[in-house]
Structure 1
Amino acid sequence: MAGPSEHPGADLDLSNAHMPSLEEVELPQSLTSLDLTANRLRSLEPCLRALTGLRKLCLRQNLVAEAAEVEALGCAPVLESLELRDNQLRALPSLAAFTSLRCLEVSYNEVRSLAPLSALGSTQLTELYAACNKITAVESLEALTCLQVLELGGNRVRAIEGLASLSLLQELWLGRNRIAEIGGGLAALSTLRRLSLQSNRLTTMAGLVHCTALEELYLSHNGIEVLEGLEALASLKILDVANNRIRKLEGLEHLQLTDLWANDNQIESLDEVEVALGSQRTCLTCIYLRGNPCAAGTDYKLRIKFALPRLEQLDDNPVS
């Protein structure tokens, strides 16, 4: 097994070693970064818990199930990045001792609640990733006022809530949940640059008016019927409304988009599409419209290329 002489310095990479245990591994106390991705560790063994100087610990793709073992890490006061993605955690650990944490990754576990975050010792957390768990509510984030990235996609969230204190948030990922409306849940997020609500239960876009810094908006695979509320989003560059029930392209006049994905909707009139794209003539480089009635005509591609002289991508085909 690898020893410290084979890994000089303060970083040690033991990823993809498929180890069931660390018994034969020497872990020097001087370590500040340890990567144990893709092993078969079921517990955080005493030699690991004894390390007090770790600033970065990655335990992706292991078999850790007990939150209490994470809580016992000796490096808790100095640890800045903790990655527990793709383990078997049924609950978040209480992170009261983790006073320096900046990044927490717990995606692909079996976590049901964010409530333990209320005990987090660090209010300096900037990135929180908890995708693909069984979380039902956005909660216990009030103290995390420095948070910039929040990933909660692939959970069981029904409402956009609990975000009022996150005024510095720049990325919010809530795709593949059970959200039926945006409502006023985004009212405090005036610095938000990326928002994903793909594959939810939305029928309207209402509720985006306060997100004036948005640059990327992903709303595909919902039940949206009308494009609305876009006039407040002057910084928007990427708009994805594919796989909805939209019948008409509209409300683009105040935008300078580079990418527009509106495929697989119910847009019928190619004449109306050309008019709507007039304001995007000098900026749009990528557009998807396939799967709409307006894309069925033999002159569809030629007319779109003529309407958008800077186009580089039309549906699945690069534009030469």
Structure 2
Amino acid sequence: MAPTADDELAPSAELDLTNGHLATLADVELPSGLQSLDVTANRLRSLEPNLLALTGLRRLCIRQNLVSEAAEVEALASAPVLESLDLRDNQFKALPNLAAFTALQCLEVSYNEVRSLAPLSKLGSTWLSELVAACNKIAVIESLQHLSQLHALELGGNRIRTIEGLAQLGQLQELWLGRNRIAEVGDGLSSLTNLRRLSLQSNRLTSMAGLQHCTALEELYLSHNGIQQLEGLQALTKLKILDIANNRLRQIDGLETLQLTDLWANDNAIESLDEVEAVLKSQTGSLSCVYLRGNPCAEAGGYKLRMKIALPKLEQLDDSPVA
């Protein structure tokens, strides 16, 4: 079983120094029994000895500071009990060696200059459930094979070209890979049968091939790619939200086995409103939100009225609530 802790900490065990305009913690009294420390949005360039000496910290957030030395994180005396570590928006060029962090469950390192996930191969915790490393300079998905308890992985805004290194992550439920350089899905997702949310927005996809393996998907985000046709959706019978906006679609089809609540297909080249109505007949009992603006079909006469009649559950059409 994973390490457990009370959700509510005693007031004396928590210290929030957010927006304190602090350049140092040297003169701040940090109680020895401190379990949660938040120093978001200060001007810290290093972790002083009084912070490093704390042995009971379970949660540490130093986001939006100027810390750059991974070795200082490695020196935390609280490593064996720390459950949540937030290093977002600092100046780290490399991930710290986390071998001593045997209780870590959540790690956030977004908005740094990290180039490699390789140091994660030494992570001491087998309980990591959330890894967020968006907006770095990561080019390869690697060193995650042993993170069998990972439920959420965020690698958006990096330099990734290939979906790989995920085969052992069978418990993964959320995968965010938007704003990378991915040209195809391939077999990279074939083992992720528990995946519920997937984002591949703003990549270089021209095909949906490979997504059919993710049969537990409930939300699929594919906007801002070069996809020309829908495919593989028949197997995704649990899908509720489908975002295919800003692609190169001329028609929407293959939705017959789905019961979508949200369909975002705006800014494509979908021409026939008659075809749209026919395709969406299977969704009349579920669709409540539809975006089609930016398509020729949305310029057809009586567009709004026709969609309202075709979809009795519709609450939102493009940017307007349906009265």
TM-score by length of 2: 0.96
The percentage of counterpart residues that share the same residue type is 74
1:257 aligns with 2:260: yes
User: How many residues in Structure 1 have an aligned counterpart in Structure 2?
Assistant: 314
Unaligned segments of structure 1, at least 5 residues: 1-6
2-structure distance, mates of 1:180, 1:316: 31
Secondary structure, in 3 states, of the residue corresponding to 1:209?
Answer: helix
Q: How much does 1:56 deviate?
A: 0.3
**Structure 1 Cα separation of the partners of residues 203 and 261 of structure 2:** 25
SS at the partner of 1:70?
A: helix
| Residue 298 of structure 1, CA deviation | 2.8
1:150 aligns with 2:141: no
The one-letter amino acid paired with 2:311 is L
2:72 corresponds in structure 1 to 69
In the TM superposition, what whole-angstrom CA distance separates every residue of 1:105-150 from its partner, at most 9, and x where no partner exists? 0000000000000010101100000000000010000110000000
The one-letter code of the counterpart of 2:25 is L
Is 1:221 the counterpart of 2:240? The answer is: no
The superposition leaves residues 219-262 of structure 1 with CA deviations (integer Å, 9 ceiling, x where unpaired) of 00000000010001000000000000001110000000000000
Partner of 1:49: 52
Superimposed CA distance per residue, residues 284-307 of structure 1 (whole angstroms, 9 cap, x where no aligned partner): 000000000111123111111110
**1:103 and 2:137 aligned:** no
Give yes or no for the alignment of 1:188 onto 2:184. no
2:212 alignment partner, SS class: coil
Which residue is equivalent to 1:163?
Answer: 166
The CA distance in 1 between the partners of 2:41 and 2:301, in whole Å, is: 51
Structure 2 counterparts to residues 195-206 of structure 1, below 5 A? 195-206=198-209
Letter in 1 for 2:131: L
Shift, 1:40, TM fit: 0.6
Aligned partner (choices 149, 152, 173) of residue 176 of structure 2: 173
State which of 115, 120, 131 in structure 1 corresponds to 2:118.
Answer: 115
Asked whether 1:292 is paired with 2:295, we answer yes
For 1:79, the equivalent position in structure 2 comes to 82
* Corresponding residue of 2:31: 28
C-alpha separation between the residues in 2 aligned to 1:89 and 1:298? 56
TM-score normalised by L of structure 1: 0.97
RMSD: 0.8
Match of 2:143 among 140, 143, 149: 140
Name segments (4+ residues, structure 1) moved above 4 Å: none
CA distance in 1, matches of 2:11, 2:156: 38
The match for 1:239 is 242
Looking at structure 2, the residues matched to 148 and 64 of structure 1 have their Cα atoms a distance apart, in angstroms, of 28
Distance in 2 between residues matched to 1:271 and 1:143, nearest whole Å:
51
- Report whether the alignment pairs 1:313 with 2:316: yes
C-alpha offsets along residues 4-58 of structure 1, whole Å, 9 cap, x if unaligned?
xxx9521111111010001221001100110111111000111100001000000
Amino acid at match of 1:217: L
Give the aligned partner of residue 16 of structure 2.
13
Correspondent of 1:272 among 270, 275, 278: 275
More deviation in 109-118 or 295-304?
Answer: 295-304
* CA offsets 1:274-293 (integer angstroms, 9 cap, x no match): 00000000100000000001
